[in-house]
Amino acid sequence: MSQAKFVAGIHIPANHPNDPNGKVTSFCTAFILSKTEIITNAHCVYDAPYVYVVAGTKVVSDANQKIKIKVEKENFVYHPYYSHLIFGAFDIAKITLKTPLEFSDTVGSIELVDKNYKLNNPSEVVTAYGYGVLKNIGPSILRRCDANYISDVERANTFKSSQTLYFTTGEATNDGAILTPGDSGGPVVSKTNSKIVGITMGINGTTGGRGAFLPITLFLDFIRDPKSVKPIPPPLTPNEAKFIAEITAPEKFLTAYKEDFADADEDTQLQFDAIIFSKTEILTCAHGVLGAPYVYVTVNKLSRNATKLKVTEDQIEIHEKYSLSGLPFDIAKITFKEPLEFNDNVGSIDLVDKDYKMNDPSEMVTVYSDVVLDGTMRTRRYDTKYLDGAKCKPKLGAVFDANHLMCYTLDESMGAPATFGGPMISKKNNKLVGMTLIRYSGKPIIFQPIAPLLDWIRKPKNHPFRKNILGNDLNVASISHFVRRVICDQTKVFAISQSSTTICE
């Protein structure tokens, strides 16, 4: 124990979620960060009414322990992004002891690596400690195992990708086992600097007994101050998202993605959001429907009773000023042939007035979007503020047109929009003020203001100024990334191009 005095054990009482039959006390491993701070896996304490922390022992399953401290539920906290349904994601918890441990030759603490520590050197050796049970029988005895990191290439070929998982492999030193039940939550220590580099999470039995652990560098802020990590807003209920629809479009046909998905088949679908503003009309991004002969619109998307409607290209209208070479006017309107049936989970959102001004950085707005952060995609909402256009331009560069677009930022620890076409709603009047267009990693998120486009949104499809100068229907086609707009009428062609005149067939 003098060699592993920083290792602690966790006794989890019966009726814990890991023991659905409620008969057996289970065990986990932990490590001692200070006299009052213990770190372990979240799944070891999740939903437990209390746990016992034991220290200075080689056999954690012994009934009579010299150091055994009961810790009530309110004194341990797991990462706010943790989900017991998803293996590995944010699986870390901190236990705070009201009564400090007494350090001795067999009880002590260990330091953490710095935030800039790199875990990508396959030649570096680490040591995993844990109170694993061999062959699922016998006592939970403290053991250790030396291992190496798996290279990024091998890890990508062997395991599902994850932002929070790294894997180790190595020769077992204890009866042929690397990791066994009870090792969860144990420390992974660098042999180079004798500091904690990770927390053991589990074992993948299908890959030769390779173990999984969380890199500690991702969780230093949480360990130092759990309250500093803001919780993810909870998923929305169907009623709260009743004005949000989902668009599914075949990537094969989408003009904006033809280069990216040149080999895609018709079954490969791109998903994004849309906004219901009447029983027959919804708004979405132009680049997500341009070129599609059809799309599917799903309403009541968060409910088991979701309704999926097929919409053909004659029901899709792209703003005549939209161009693939830029983001302004990136808006489309879809008109249903049959009106939607509104209910508690399907409804509309009002549009702001034309004179609504979006230049007050202090005004709060709510953004709705699908977000992937806890391992699954959820529709959530976030409160944020507008950014001054002068601050957006330097950060976004030429892609940002301050005359037609605006931007906002989000705390990226809470996630960021994973889909476009989602609504932005004013907290002042609860009306639609914008639609998310695109985001670039680490930069403000661009959105399309609604107020300047109200005339276009509200005008009927057969409005006079939808006719070209020859009196025929306007036919707008996006020929390439360089052609801005092509207007065709039998033998006459009007083209605005950066390179050359384009002939329409």
One-letter-per-residue 3-state SS of 87-124: CCCCCCEEEECCCCCCCCCCCCCCCECCCCCCCCCCCC
Is there a shared CATH topology between the 1-229 domain and the 232-463 domain? Answer: yes
Phi, psi of 281, rounded to the nearest 5 degrees:
-135, 140
- Model's pTM, two decimal places? 0.56
CATH number for the 232-463 domain, one of 3.90.1150.10, 1.10.1060.10, 2.40.10.10, 3.30.2270.10? 2.40.10.10
Burial 60-81 (b: 16+ CB within 10 A, else e): bbeeebebebebeeebbbbbbb
Q: CB count, 10 Å around CB of 425?
A: 21
Third-level CATH fold of 1-229: Thrombin, subunit H (2.40.10)
Residue recorded with tokens 């709705």: 368
Reading the chain (505 residues) residue by residue, the pLDDT tens digits are 899 999 999 988 776 555 445 555 678 999 999 999 999 999 889 888 899 999 999 988 887 888 999 999 999 999 887 877 666 678 899 999 999 999 999 999 999 999 888 776 767 788 889 888 766 666 788 988 887 776 554 444 444 434 444 555 554 444 445 567 788 899 999 988 999 998 988 654 434 456 678 888 889 999 999 988 877 777 788 999 999 999 999 888 888 877 766 676 777 788 899 999 999 999 999 999 999 999 999 999 888 889 999 999 999 999 999 988 888 999 999 999 999 999 999 999 999 998 888 777 778 899 998 876 555 567 888 888 888 777 788 888 888 888 888 888 776 655 666 779 999 999 989 999 999 998 777 788 889 999 999 999 998 765 544 433 333 333 333 333 323 333 333 333 333 333 333 443 3
Give the number of other CB atoms < 10 A from CB of residue 11.
21
Taking the domains of the chain in order of start, what are their residue ranges? 1-229, 232-463, 467-505
What residues have CB less than 8 Å from 201, skipping those under 6 apart? 41, 87, 88, 91, 165, 184, 211, 212, 213, 214
How would you write 225-253 as a 3-class SS string?
CHHHCCCCCCCCCCCCCCCEEEEEEEHHH
State the Cα–Cα distance between residues 496 and 322, nearest whole angstrom.
Answer: 13
175/110 Cα distance (integer angstroms):
27
Are 369 and 273 contacting, i.e. CB atoms less than 8 angstroms apart? yes
